[in-house]
Amino acid sequence: MKKDLLSIGDLALEEINAIFKLAEQLKKNKKRFAKTLSGKTLALIFQKPSNRTRVSFEVGMYQLGGNSLYLSPQEINLGVRETIGDVARTISRYVDGVVLRTFEHKNCLDMAQAATVPVINGLSDFSHPCQALADLFTIREKLKDLKKVTLAYVGDGNNVCNSLLFAAAKTGMNISVATPKGYAPAENVVKLSQAIAKETGSRIKITEDPFSAVDSAQVVYTDVWASMGQEEEINKRKIIFKDFQINAKLLAKAAENVLVMHCLPAHRGEEITDEVMESRNSIVFDQAENRMHVQKAILIKLLGKN
Ligand code: CP
Ligand code: NVA
């Protein structure tokens, strides 16, 4: 049966660990897997812009011996030119997997239900699972044991925040989330993460105080204040989020040698200062690089079997 990756919840802990292990091998030895996906094609159906996700999937597919096909918003015009179900059923006859970047998460669910090939969520308004997997892989690389790490996420309770919550809960990493009032992650995301965390020992804290969230954290993470599709809210959000910037003053509360992460693109001077982005604490480009290694592992696991 085909397997999709729409949310971290689709993966058992063993599957996450297997992805990390394979990603480690892929990062060490690019040549060894050069023919693994030979003859396979991956379609990237994107309704939003992208640098990291598009480039890392396309190059990753090429490095595995496969082919990729980028389909821009105008090309497929999902749900307008034809229904998502019809797109999924047609494209399944041509390609071996789909990466979908879209607005409503329901589009991912509809695509996965109708497609007969694996569907990977390349970002929806609800989640960004490939990002969170690459992020945890990066933290594991730097700090080894995720169970001994506390990550503080400061900013908007958005798609990236949701996926980090799920990923932390699954792997036993501790996570503190600080958002302004009204911008907390959705209640069902928090509840579900807390339920998973009970099994794994992960501690989850949700607060409106950024200083309390970063207190002694080994990793501090942020994302843009206005996500793609919310651009017209940026002026309002700049006021609401002003105390949630990752800057030297906030980082002084964190653990010594704190690692600073950002999924990128960064809006320097808004959610993160230039100084912090350029500091030796910042691992944002290692994080970006790891998108490719981790996604190659995901592609092998999902597309590689048949
Ligand atoms: N982090 C991330 O997904 O970047 P892009 O939007 O550039 O793909
Ligand atoms: N939260 C951001 C993440 C970008 C990678 C967005 O959805 O635009």
pLDDT digits (tens, 9 = 90+) for 139-165: 999 999 999 999 999 999 999 999 999
Task: Tell whether the model's pLDDT for residue 305 goes beyond 80.
Answer: no
Amino acid letter, residue 293:
H
The residue contributing the CA closest to ligand 1 atom 4 is 52
Mean pLDDT of 279-305: 97
Burial class (CB in 10 A: 0-12, 13-18, 19+), 148: exposed
Q: Using an 8 Å Cβ cutoff, are 225 and 233 in contact?
A: no
**Confidence band for 30, pLDDT divided at 50, 70 and 90:** confident
Q: What pLDDT digit, counting tens, does each position of 39-76 carry?
A: 999 999 999 999 999 999 999 999 999 999 999 999 99
Comparing CA positions, the residue from 61, 63, 54 lying closest to residue 29 is 63
For the Cβ of 52 lying below 6 angstroms from any atom of ligand 1, the answer is: yes
The percent of residues in the chain predicted with pLDDT above 70, rounded, is: 99
Q: Which residues are tagged catalytic?
A: 101, 128, 131, 223, 263, 291
Task: Answer whether 8-128+290-303 and 131-287 agree in fold.
Answer: yes
Task: Tell whether the model's pLDDT for residue 306 goes beyond 60.
Answer: no
For the Cβ of 262 lying below 6 angstroms from any atom of ligand 1, the answer is: no
Residue with tokens 């990923």: 167
Indicate which atom in ligand 1 lies nearest the CA of residue 228: 6
Instruction: Dig out the tokens for 15 from the structure.
Output: 């599957």
| Chain centroid to CA 38 | 26
- Ligand 2 pocket: which of 224, 233, 287 to mutate (most atoms within 8 A of CB): 224
> For the chain, what are the domain ranges?
8-128+290-303, 131-287
CA distance 7 to 220: 22
Ligand 2 centroid distance, CA of 166 (Å)? 17
Mean pLDDT of 157-175: 98
Topology of domain 131-287 in CATH is: Rossmann fold (3.40.50)
pTM: 0.98
For 8-128+290-303, CATH gives: 3.40.50.1370
Amino acid letter, residue 93:
R
E strand residue ranges, 144-214: 150-154, 174-178, 204-207
